[in-house]
Structure 1
């Protein structure tokens, strides 16, 4: 099967909101050669990154929408539009290969339709895009609810957030400084011809000039380095870890922050990680094994205390499930998968997890609440609700040169050639 047909079948369940791209893409990658992997990823990520715009354009070009059972054809049309608008593939090749992919999908009847749609775009691209650009969904390439909410919440930053969401993210590393210093590892990268620089906010972070396969990173298999965004690395520093402490990482998968905790303070007494889903818990184990680190991994619900043995923790990280609106550039299907009504549901789950974990925190202990969201509804407002309910909880302002200070915590926005969108709040438990 040709690569465009594989891409169409990969994207079909994502467009139907039945699977995330993270779930669907590995199935597609398993069907292509190593040489084709990058192109398949480009098709899939590109279509979802520009889906709001491509979808409006497709509706304009098609006389009627595709049936549910023809989602693969809908995806194929979007792949064709994406190639003509955003890729450097010669247009005649993009058009002919996309039309021919309908045969691989066993839908020969659609060849004429796809050909007509793509040729019309070639002829009328300027006028069509000019008309549609008056629509903010087309212009900003985001769903309207997201545009409205961001412009309301962040009147000075919303356009920058939307623009960053449409960009390719940088590749950032976390150096295991228990094994090697950041400066030494930078020299190792330079020796391998990999251009990189130290990131400004995390003392363990290095940003690559250009993304590369992890197999090319010196010492990756030996646990010298991991891939992790700089914003996500800040949690280990905010926990203010001390030797001999007991630490809980709630909602721990895939284990990046957990491993950083263990690297940052190797003399902790005990570290527990909980994760709800079996397959995601396996990712934690894989990361621990590669980095030669040790933690107790429990498959459990962070909103329940059923698993807890009543031994309190000195430090707790609650990296709560969220809309992931701060990492859209890494997971562009979020624009399509998330709905406005999800935020209330998520905020209630976040509060429930916070309340449950709070009982496990020792008096005098610290809890760091984190999300990769840019919506205050999931961030400072959850913390405000929590503080009203827990009278022994004290908000500890974060003094830092990153992010924006909020009434509670600090908010980071996605940055060009920098960190993702993230939120942190530090909560201290009264000794009395």
Structure 2
């Protein structure tokens, strides 16, 4: 793979640009004010944490940034309770530019209930943040609400509302009750848990044994995990190893990061390359590939493949694949066998223009989804997604699946994957496809994988993995 010009067709139809953000930080740097600003942007303006967190991180360093992330993510995890308490105390909602103060008050609640912050600091510093965001006149309101919260011991009062109790949006709680009635409480607990940090050793540069020795030498605690030891009843899956760190850390400080000795990838996502089972000489299409973790793993799992074309509709995200390939050394290792294309996989015209008539032995379709299986890593997802989004996502998945299936060679395999736990995006989607696509049949992943109940659903926290879904489809010869 060559330098950045290897990303092809970025200026043609199918390219999606994020554009330039117009929202800016206008207040002076202040930890609690910055945390409230991030919450305000996410919850009131629909921005993702990936968009807004870097803006406040640029203003602080080290432990302060760790504190900021903990406060923001913590508030997002406990938001239903925080909002419930706020409604008990605030006589009427704030509006306009003052609305950010509501998020400041909820940040104060979170500190008082869920952190070790002293009560004095939680109140006084949160009140002081009003001045930092230019809301001096509301300092009294913030102080009064926090003092009333303490005096009335609201945190000790039972909240008899099911979705608030488990910390989920009402629509998502309803979905889980429908699909997993006996497991809702456990799923909600896992969604709200702090996720582990999984690594995948780059087999083209080192071995799991050698890299483990480097971690040992630096006193970094970890656990080695064999894929075939996971209790999923998997069939015909090669033995593969992964590493789970005992403590979360800045991955850039781990040995061998700059040299590309490892990638950060949850164990559930590491199953993709194994289930795809690429053979020597195979041509592979990685569809909706950004940011490239699975792309890299496919290459590492089968360095003798014929070619790998990775496509995504977002040019900026595709650049992240290129950066990852360069860090891992795959750009040099695979050269012209690895190509990146900016392509809208739902657009038949764009696919045909870019990929021509090429067909593939193996296709990974990491389909767009609600991302409900990875909420524990991205707590903002539960508040950015709406019930009305799901039908649109299912329709988009259906269009992409139909387009990409045409690219599978007879006798080839398509692996459908999502990081969702909603059945309409997963099991129901594939079951319908199998009934309507005459040349498709299920290639079972596990012992109970049938056309009536197809695929493998991993729930959040199962074997300490993220929520994920896989279904493997074989095209008739």
Give me the TM-score of the superposition, normalised by structure 1.
Answer: 0.95
Deviations along 1:323-367, one digit per CA (max 9) or x if unpaired, are 100011001111211111211111111111111100011110000
8 Å Cα contact 2:191/2:375 also seen in 1: yes
The yes-or-no answer on 1:130 pairing with 2:157 is yes
The yes-or-no answer on 1:394 pairing with 2:441 is yes
Shift in Å at residue 417 of structure 1? 7.0
Question: Structure 1's 349 and 378: CA in aligned 2 closer, same or farther, altered over 3 A?
Answer: same
SS at match of 1:16: helix
Question: Structure 1's 234 and 150: CA in aligned 2 closer, same or farther, altered over 3 A?
Answer: same
SS at match of 2:330: coil
Provide the residue aligned with 2:5 in structure 1.
none
The yes-or-no answer on 1:120 pairing with 2:140 is no
SS at match of 1:121: helix
Deviations along 1:106-129, one digit per CA (max 9) or x if unpaired, are 11011101111111111122x554
The yes-or-no answer on 1:360 pairing with 2:387 is no
Could you tell me how far apart the structure 1 residues matched to 2:99 and 2:305 are? 51
Shift in Å at residue 65 of structure 1? 1.1
The yes-or-no answer on 1:6 pairing with 2:34 is yes
Deviations along 1:9-65, one digit per CA (max 9) or x if unpaired, are 122110114201121111111121234110111111111111122111111121111
8 Å Cα contact 1:53/1:137 also seen in 2: no
Question: Structure 1's 391 and 68: CA in aligned 2 closer, same or farther, altered over 3 A?
Answer: farther
Could you tell me how far apart the structure 2 residues matched to 1:206 and 1:128 are? 39
For residues 186-197 of structure 1, the aligned pairs below 5 Å read 186-197=212-223
8 Å Cα contact 2:446/2:456 also seen in 1: no
Provide the residue aligned with 2:271 in structure 1.
234
For residues 218-257 of structure 1, the aligned pairs below 5 Å read 218-257=255-294
For residues 251-290 of structure 1, the aligned pairs below 5 Å read 251-290=288-327
Shift in Å at residue 199 of structure 1? 2.3
8 Å Cα contact 1:177/1:204 also seen in 2: no
Could you tell me how far apart the structure 1 residues matched to 2:432 and 2:452 are? 15
Report 1 or 2 for greater relative contact order, CA contacts < 8 Å, sequence distance ≥ 6. 2
Shift in Å at residue 225 of structure 1? 0.4
The yes-or-no answer on 1:419 pairing with 2:419 is no
Range with bigger deviation, 54-63 or 92-101: 54-63
Structure 1 residue corresponding to 2:342, chosen from 296, 299, 302: 299
Structure 2 residue corresponding to 1:217, chosen from 247, 254, 257: 254
Deviations along 1:280-330, one digit per CA (max 9) or x if unpaired, are 111111111101113211111111232221110110000011110001100
Provide the residue aligned with 2:429 in structure 1.
382
Could you tell me how far apart the structure 1 residues matched to 2:382 and 2:89 are? 22
Question: Structure 1's 199 and 292: CA in aligned 2 closer, same or farther, altered over 3 A?
Answer: same
Structure 2 residue corresponding to 1:85, chosen from 103, 113, 136: 113
Structure 2 residue corresponding to 1:410, chosen from 429, 453, 456: 456
Provide the residue aligned with 2:376 in structure 1.
329
Unmatched 5+ residue regions in structure 1? none
Unmatched 5+ residue regions in structure 2? 1-28, 229-239, 332-337
Structure 2 residue corresponding to 1:143, chosen from 161, 169, 173: 169
Give me the TM-score of the superposition, normalised by structure 2.
Answer: 0.87
For residues 60-209 of structure 1, the aligned pairs below 5 Å read 60-125=88-153, 127=154, 129-131=156-158, 133-201=159-227, 203-209=240-246
8 Å Cα contact 2:205/2:261 also seen in 1: yes
8 Å Cα contact 1:51/1:336 also seen in 2: no
Could you tell me how far apart the structure 2 residues matched to 1:264 and 1:114 are? 56
8 Å Cα contact 2:414/2:472 also seen in 1: yes
Question: Structure 1's 88 and 406: CA in aligned 2 closer, same or farther, altered over 3 A?
Answer: farther
